[in-house]
Structure 1
Amino acid sequence: MASCTRFLIFAVAASLLASFARADLQYDFYNTSCPGVETLVRDALTEVFAADSTVRAGLLRLHFHDCFVRGCDASIMINSNNGTAEKNADPNLTLRGYEVIEAIKVKVEAACPLVVSCADIMAMAARDAVKFSEGPDYLVETGRRDGNVSMMADALSDLPPADGNVTVLTKVFAVKNLTMKDLVVLSGAHTLGVAHCPSFSYRVHNYTGVGDEDPSMEPEYAEGLNAKCAPDNFASVVPLDTVTTNEFDLGYFQSVYAGKGLLGSDDALRHDSLTGAYVSLMNNASSLDTFFADFAVSMINMGRVGVLTGTDGEIRATCGIYVD
């Protein structure tokens, strides 16, 4: 996309979002206390992404999984000696990027000790992961503080299920003050990354419990998944976007529209009249600017979920502390 179009998306999204910013979060929160921190984070990520472009999807997913459990408070980073932290829950076992956030935190602490939260670094990293994948470069509200509670049970109850239908998913999002539009737009983040076989293999091996296949899947796509993911295959991965796997674009929606949505929750979007209308709209290449602008808004909305600000929470020197 041309640079002028990117700038337009950036400017329009920023101006629209500014009027709705939470009073306890703000743009350029660290201008005085840690000037240049966003540039520091982006420069560090430039090196990381040059070495491993696949971690971009991991950082985006890490932020999402953090925000849906106890809010955007970096509780996903916390370790547990007895294995009962959020990161130990089954849906989080394949998360990536912890070491990247920790390495950036070290650099930020060297510049501004105990000023910038791990939660804010995670939000910046997710934004930059999108930007470096040819996606929108949007403004991030900052001012979050870190939580010190992390429980596996919360992750198991609060994360959207990979096999959920739109009714179920809408309820999960509503609890976080996110709308059905946020649901379908944020699902577009699946234009990056992969999923492990166990998260979708039931659709090709045992859809209704009698060894059958999900009839809504495109036949050749289902055949390929069947060959790739045997029932006892726990290690293999499949791209969530069948069109472009490492570029932030409309490939995910094009895949879903064509009956090639990988997860049950992906495919469900095209079967609901409202989310299906958005999937249909995004199947058109001319809708890319609309998706970019919508995604910026929804990411800001998600970034406000359950935040700790002011004197709540803490600023951790190390993101991956141990708490039991």
Structure 2
Amino acid sequence: MASSSSSSRTTILLLMAAAAASLLCLAQAEESPLKQDFYSETCPGVEELVRKELKKIFADDSTIRAGLLRLHFHDCFVRGCDASLMLDSHNGTAEKHADPNLTVRGYEVIEALKLKVEAECPLVVSCADLMTIAARDAVKFSDGPDYPVETGRRDGNISMAADAKRDLPPADGNVTVLTKYFAAKNLTMKDLVVLSGAHTLGVAHCPSFSGRVHNHTGAGDADPALDAGYLAKLNATCGPANVASVVPLDAATTDKFDLGYYQSVRGRKGLLGSDDALNHDSLMGAYVELMNNASSLDTFFQDFAVSMVKMGRVGVLTGEEGVIRESCTIFVD
């Protein structure tokens, strides 16, 4: 996008104004059945307990931070934020067995947190809330924003692979496709471009983007939108039959929550088709351009906090709905 154009400057100014009001918008958002400090009386100190445990876990494996962030996203987009992704099945029909979830990580971390919390507050804190808290702390321990989360979710007791196949946005989706998936969860185009910034952490397996590298149009060609030097690196790492290797989603800074992802996208180094899609919409492209200025980091942090809290409200079970699981992986009879 040409930053010199009058329309582009106007768009960016409008986005900056919207970003400055992000926290106010969150406070004025439609009333949620969730609230901050939901467990202040029933399990006081639970967030501090979780953070303490995660600090030790991250010291042993810093890569799991990205896994926990993705775990929360994949859970919320299927049946809402109800920890249904955590459930095991004996016949391969649960959400975690769907193709889009086969490389999701972090289940064992949530289960370990649940074990610690159950020892303090039996059958009080939901797995869904632990996933939400863990995602926030994964961002915080990656030098990202430390924002307040809402709690009060209860756990679902249904988990179907077919739901995950239907509801998770495709890695190669274009703007039109992605917008529809997000709109189905009451998330806007602004939420889409902001939450995509979570790709500043983590990696993708070769099959997630091999089509862009080896067979973009079905004629054995590469996506011309890819930077030539970056394409050469992808070719070197991911051959046509390579399914095991991984590539960082953020070509600039691989393990820090910052603006590197947007720099990669604007520099034609967005790894997934859904990353490059941001360049092909005027509003989202303007946001990407805005985020290519180091002074925009605070704006991104504020926007990300707002969109994460908003996503955390998707399809929640509260009150008498759902269950509280003793183990996050086991259905409640």
TM-score (norm 2): 0.92
In structure 2, distance between residues paired with 1:50 and 1:16: 35
Residue of structure 1 in register with 2:83 after alignment? 74
Aligned with 2:174 (options 165, 172, 193): 165
Residue of structure 1 in register with 2:325 after alignment? 316
Q: Work out whether 1:287 is the aligned partner of 2:296.
A: yes
Residue of structure 2 in register with 1:233 after alignment? 242
In structure 1, distance between residues paired with 2:32 and 2:233: 50
Aligned with 1:135 (options 134, 139, 144): 144
Q: Work out whether 1:40 is the aligned partner of 2:49.
A: yes
Residue of structure 2 in register with 1:210 after alignment? 219
In structure 2, distance between residues paired with 1:15 and 1:139: 14
Structure 2 CA distance for partners of 1:113 and 1:267, relative to 1, 3 Å: same
Aligned with 2:284 (options 275, 286, 300): 275
Shift of 1:13: 6.9
Q: Which sections of structure 1, spanning at least 5 residues, go unmatched?
A: 1-11
In structure 2, distance between residues paired with 1:72 and 1:18: 20
Say whether the 8 Å CA contact 1:80–1:323 is kept in structure 2.
no
Shift of 1:323: 7.8
CA RMSD of aligned residues (A): 1.4
In structure 2, distance between residues paired with 1:21 and 1:147: 23
In structure 2, distance between residues paired with 1:47 and 1:161: 33
In structure 1, distance between residues paired with 2:227 and 2:132: 36
In structure 1, distance between residues paired with 2:292 and 2:32: 37
In structure 1, distance between residues paired with 2:22 and 2:43: 25
Tell me the number of residue pairs that the alignment of Structure 1 and Structure 2 aligns. Answer: 313
In structure 2, distance between residues paired with 1:254 and 1:273: 17
Shift of 1:15: 6.3
In structure 1, distance between residues paired with 2:32 and 2:196: 27
In structure 2, distance between residues paired with 1:309 and 1:322: 18
Shift of 1:23: 3.6
Aligned with 2:268 (options 259, 268, 271): 259
In structure 1, distance between residues paired with 2:42 and 2:84: 23
In structure 1, distance between residues paired with 2:182 and 2:117: 32
Residue of structure 1 in register with 2:315 after alignment? 306
TM-score (norm 1): 0.94
Say whether the 8 Å CA contact 2:169–2:181 is kept in structure 1.
yes
Q: Work out whether 1:125 is the aligned partner of 2:125.
A: no
Shift of 1:22: 3.4
In structure 1, distance between residues paired with 2:268 and 2:77: 27
In structure 1, distance between residues paired with 2:268 and 2:27: 37
Residue of structure 2 in register with 1:8 after alignment? none
In structure 2, distance between residues paired with 1:109 and 1:309: 19
2:247 match: secondary structure: strand
Deviation digits for residues 99-149 of structure 1 (CA, Å, limit 9, x no counterpart): 000000000000000000000000000000000000000000000000000
Shift of 1:306: 0.3
Aligned-pair identity in percent equals 74
Deviates more, 1:268-277 or 1:176-185: 268-277
Shift of 1:14: 6.3
